[in-house]
Amino acid sequence: MVFTTHTKQAAVIEKFGKFDRIAGPGLNFKVPLIEKVVCVEDLNMQLMDVPVMSKTKDDATVTVPVRVQYYVLPDKVKEAYYELDDPEDQIKAHVENVILSYIPKINLDDTYQQEDQIARRIKESLATVMALLMMTQYFDALRDIGAQSNTILLPHSPSAVSDLYMQLRKAVTAGNLAAAKSMEKPPEKK
């Protein structure tokens, strides 16, 4: 009935097996037998070691020790729990993919000199993963809004309005060209 959540933690609460809310730090209440704490997410910075073994261009075997720091954003606790099956394994897989696609292209000596470039590639790769997750959530939200109402969402920033105008203009132009082409007489056969 009463439970506490520590600082830098967030509890995921379900009501009859369906997501209900996120309980923040401090004293919280839940209805017995109806609501359940299904997870307590740690919001502290986490550190994960990902040693990756690979061969270089000159056929030397190297182990690249990678340390990844990550944390769950307080406003993304629900997504972290429900949408990511095993975040650590997913992060490890992306790190390994980046290293295994980069190290075989360079010589052993270059692996030490290009340490910053390797780290930058890993960071960019993990940022692509986060962007993909955010886009998936964005499209899911649009689908849910569209299913419940006849609302049309338009971008509202000045640059987005300009981009929307250009896209509409290109679509109208392409439509006019296609219509004009369909009205043309086919060439006569000789």
Measured CA angle at 66 (ends 60, 70), to 5 deg:
160
pLDDT for 60:
87
pLDDT for 52:
87
Q: What is the arrangement of strands in the sheet containing 9-15, beginning at the earlier edge strand?
A: 18-23, 9-15, 35-42
pLDDT for 37:
95
Rounded CA gap, 169 and 167, in Å? 5
Calculate helix-pair angle for 115-148, 87-102, nearest 10 degrees: 130
Measured CA angle at 114 (ends 97, 108), to 5 deg:
80
Condensed to tens digits (0 to 9), the pLDDT of residues 123-173 reads 777 766 665 566 666 666 666 666 776 666 665 565 666 776 677 778 778
Going from the C-alpha of 108 to that of each of 103, 114, 143, the distances in angstroms are: 9, 10, 49
CB contact at 8 A, 98 and 50:
no
- Among 90, 41, 95, residue whose Cα is nearest residue 68: 95
Condensed to tens digits (0 to 9), the pLDDT of residues 48-75 reads 898 889 888 888 888 888 888 888 888 8
Provide the b/e sequence for 79-94 (b: ≥16 CB within 10 Å).
Answer: ebbeeeeeeeeebbeb
Q: How confident is the model at residue 1 (pLDDT cuts 50, 70, 90)?
A: confident
Q: What is the mean pLDDT of residues 6-20?
A: 94
Tokens of 125: 């790769």
Q: How confident is the model at residue 38 (pLDDT cuts 50, 70, 90)?
A: very high
List beta partners, residue 14: 19, 36
Q: Walk me through the domains of the chain, giving residue ranges and CATH numbers.
A: 2-42 (no CATH), 46-148 (3.30.479.30)
Q: Could you tell me which residue, 72 or 14, shows the higher pLDDT?
A: 14
Question: Who's near 158: CB < 8 A, 6+ residues apart?
Answer: none
Q: Could you tell me which residue, 137 or 37, shows the higher pLDDT?
A: 37
